[in-house]
Amino acid sequence: MNTLYFAPGACSLGIHVLLEEIGAPFEAKQVNLREGAQFKPEFTAVNPKSKVPTLVREDGSSLTEFPAIAFYLAATNPQAKMLPEGAEAMARAMEVTDYAVATVHMQGFSRIFRPANFAPNEADHEAVKARGAEIYAKGLKTLDAALDGRDFFAGSYSFADMAPFYVAFWGAERLKMEIPGRLAAHYAAMRARPAVQAVMAREGLA
Ligand SMILES: N[C@@H](CCC(=O)N[C@@H](CS)C(=O)NCC(=O)O)C(=O)O
């Protein structure tokens, strides 16, 4: 059985939803990021990067980085049909997942919520946050445009919908932002899914 290490409402939310959609049994273990559990030996033995999501597979090996975990879960559970078919759809899935995680989250949202990671001097923090807000807003616009003529990011529902979901969740629920139209519709469709509702309840977010 796979074990997911997650923190409530963190980016691990997207992998948690993917596991729920796949439907195979898994264990979900909470990591208390606020208390620094990610830096304690029990967790660094599992992931020395001190990050969630972390997936521990049946053979005991750890897999890290959202895009890699999302691809692995979709590829190893073909019955769940979460892996896009064909090179074009697969490339689009990787494109949107990398953009949502590496740019919208890590460059945008992280500047807003963790300015100290970008500038040691507190006097610079407001400028860092403002730059993060710009990157984040452009990110949401870009994700919205990627939904032109389609309801899901790779054409049909797949692992590609998980990273855009968690970055839209942060905008809607944590920043109380207005999400652009097509992305807002995608976010609403995701929120309506039983798997998403089950995960939100398990993470205490519902
Ligand atoms: N590049 C990583 C990013 C993971 C990440 O930044 N996770 C955050 C939660 S959203 C985390 O674990 N933060 C803990 C910390 O920074 O101490 C991925 O793709 O999985």
The answer as to CATH 3.40.30.10 being correct for domain 2-81 is yes
Closest C-alpha residue for ligand 1 atom 12: 51
Looking at domain 87-193, its CATH class is mainly alpha
Q: Which H helix or E strand runs over 110? A: helix 110-113
User: For the chain, what are the domain ranges?
Assistant: 2-81, 87-193
* Measured distance CA(128)–CA(114) in Å, rounded: 9
What are the pLDDT digits (tens) for 27-76?
Answer: 999 999 999 999 999 999 999 999 999 999 999 999 999 999 999 999 99
Q: Do domains 2-81 and 87-193 have the same CATH topology?
A: no
Mean pLDDT of the chain: 97
Instruction: Give burial (CB, 10 Å; 0-12/13-18/19+) of 164.
Output: buried
Cβ of 4 less than 6 Å from ligand 1: no
* Measured distance CA(112)–CA(129) in Å, rounded: 4
Say how many Å lie between the CA of residue 97 and the centre of ligand 1: 14
| 175 contact partners, CB below 8 Å, separation of at least 6 | 112, 136
Cβ of 50 less than 6 Å from ligand 1: yes
Say how many Å lie between the CA of residue 179 and the centre of ligand 1: 23
Stated pTM of the model: 0.96
Q: Are strands 62-64 and 54-56 parallel, antiparallel or unpaired?
A: antiparallel
